[in-house]
Amino acid sequence: MRRHKLALCQTHYLEWFPAQVERTIRKYHLLRPGERVLVAVSGGKDSLSLWDVLLRLGYQADGMTIDLGIDGGFGYSTRSRQKIERFLEERPGATLHVVDVAALYGETVPQVARRTLRGRNKPCALCGLIKRHEMNRIAAAYGYDVLATGHNLDDEAATLLSNVLQWHTGYLARQAPLLEEREGLARKVKPLCLTYEREAAAYALMRGIDYIYEECPYAEGSTTIFYKELLNRLEVNSPGAKLQFYLSFLRARSEGLFQEMAAQVELNSCPVCGQPTNVPTGPCAFCRLWTP
Ligand code: Q46
Ligand code: ZN
Is the pLDDT at 185 greater than 70? The verdict is yes
The predicted-structure confidence for 87-98, as pLDDT tens digits, reads as follows 999 998 899 999
Query: To the nearest whole percent, how much of the chain has pLDDT over 90?
Result: 80
Pairing between β-strand 268-269 and β-strand 60-67 as defined by DSSP bridges: unpaired
Cα–chain center distance at 278: 21
Ligand 2 centre to CA of 277 (Å) is 7
The predicted-structure confidence for 48-81, as pLDDT tens digits, reads as follows 999 999 999 999 999 999 999 999 999 999 999 9
Q: What is the DSSP string of 21-56?
A: HHHHHHHTT---TT-EEEEE--SSHHHHHHHHHHHH
- pLDDT score, position 264: 66
At residue 9's C-alpha, the angle toward residues 8 and 13, to 5°, is 65
Ligand minimally distant from the alpha carbon of residue 283: 2
Closest CA to 226 of 139, 283, 159, 129: 159
Tell me the mean pLDDT in the region 111-126: 86
d(Cα 137, Cα 272) in Å, to the nearest integer?
Answer: 13
Ligand 1 centre to CA of 283 (Å) is 24
Tell me the mean pLDDT in the region 241-265: 87
Q: 113: Cβ below 6 Å to ligand 1?
A: no
Tell me the mean pLDDT in the region 280-289: 94
In this prediction, residue 258 has a pLDDT band, given cuts at 50, 70 and 90, of confident
Query: To the nearest whole percent, how much of the chain has pLDDT over 70?
Result: 98
d(Cα 102, Cα 105) in Å, to the nearest integer?
Answer: 5
Is the pLDDT at 271 greater than 90? The verdict is yes
